[in-house]
Amino acid sequence: MKKNAKLNLWLWKWHFIAGIISLPFILVLAVSGGWYLFKDIIERPETDRARTVDVKGTPLSFQEQWDIAQKATTKQINSVVLPKTKNKATEFVSGRFSNTLESVYINPFTGDITNHRVVRNTFMYKVRKFHGELLMGSFGTKIVELAACWMVVLVLTGIYIWWPKQKWKSKRLFSIRTGHGKRILFRDLHAVTSFWISALLLLILAGGLPWTDVFGHNYKWLQEVTHTGYPETWNNSNYRSVKQGDPVPLDSVIQLTYGLQLPGKTTITLPENEKGVFTVKNETPALENQQIFHIDRYSGKIIGKDQWKNVGVMMRSRMWLMNFHEGKFGTWNFILVFLTAVLLTLASASALCSYLLRKKRGDWGIPPVPPQYKAGKGIIAFIILLGICLPLFGLSLIIIYGSYSIKQRFSWSVKNTGLIQKG
């Protein structure tokens, strides 16, 4: 593409501003996010010890195990994870959100509690909270969201700036000059590395934004008004058990669940009250294999079911991107996201080194843009659209532009009232 020199300078200026705003947080998010990818590997030894039991004798009924687990915690047990083999402890879970989850593991042969795990007390939970909100609660979440928004700007402006002015040459994709001084070396290292991860980085950012407060809230609202989320048949609150006699034991529901032969991790949500239902759902990296079933607690019969193919397009997109963000699609996904985190750290560090080597004392190093230059209507329209889609970015842009306008007016006022005199 043919580049506009003035537009290139203008975008370089905004690329610099985006870097100033987001660079410290990029380093934090890249390192903490890369670390969190190893959650399952780090926690596996502990969970394996909790879940693995010796097979001996006749196991207790699941109903009896449920009673033992309930006595071991002050919270109401609300779900049970289906054991896949006989040598696995039964996991009973209380809490519905990440900060309230507790798991009690019961040895089905002895009734002993093999582990009582409180998620919020684990080290990797703290890493996740640091990655998502900088350990600052809702305020921290908004800071992370703002940094993510400006990262999008960094990627888009960076691609345009890096794109060669002259005829395209494939060696540009790999060209890192080593004999032209440190600044050029760090500059090329930043530019080439950033280009190679740009598409993946945008995907990862898209997968993280649904967790945020402002963008995530707006996304959920749009999902609701367009009816592109979960179908009503997915939600167990739309079903009621018809009371007739005594409730069926948990063992009957579990046997029915085994018969469904669902792939992946299968969880049975327990009824909350007399009219509540059992809800069976499975989690698997292959999202299209996820299903959900609702079972009457008195008759033990399936009264509702649904499949992933009936989930709305916005929810399907959201879940795919969020799973990709966490590297849940298997080894290939894990490697891609971890490699992106490593290269993003390298690109950010090299950008900082290049800038410090380029920057002159007393000068921010922002390239001057001709004052008469006005960005085209297409660019302005795109920025407005980006500001609408990413509200915190739009708000920060208004603040920056407002501050700049006030500064310009103040400078003009000082100059024209003679407060600044030569000599």
Annotated domain spans of the chain: 5-33+136-221+330-403, 39-126, 230-311
Residue 423: its pLDDT value, please? 39
Domain 39-126: which CATH class? alpha beta
Domain 39-126 and domain 230-311, same fold? Reply is: yes
Residue 107: its pLDDT value, please? 96
Architecture of domain 230-311: Roll (3.10)
DSSP for 107-156, please give it: -TTT--EEEEEEGGGSHHHHHHHHHHHTTSHHHHHHHHHHHHHHHHHHHH
Q: What tokens were used for 122?
A: 């684990």
Residue 401: its pLDDT value, please? 78
Residue 367: its pLDDT value, please? 67
- Whether residue 122 contacts residue 43, with contact meaning beta carbons closer than 8 Å, is answered with yes
| Residue 401: C-alpha distances to residues 12, 226, 366, 404 (Å) | 16, 34, 16, 5
Q: What's the CA gap between 278 and 293, in Å, rounded?
A: 8
How confident is the prediction along the chain (423 residues), in pLDDT tens digits per residue?
Answer: 566 778 888 888 888 888 888 899 999 999 999 999 999 999 999 889 989 999 999 999 999 999 999 998 888 999 999 998 999 999 999 987 777 789 999 999 999 999 999 999 999 999 999 999 999 999 999 999 999 999 999 999 998 888 766 665 666 667 788 877 888 889 889 988 999 999 999 999 999 999 999 999 999 999 999 999 999 889 888 899 998 889 999 999 999 999 999 999 999 999 988 999 999 999 999 999 999 999 999 999 999 999 999 999 999 999 999 999 999 999 999 999 999 999 999 999 999 888 888 776 666 667 677 676 777 888 889 999 999 999 999 999 899 877 766 656 655 555 555 544 443
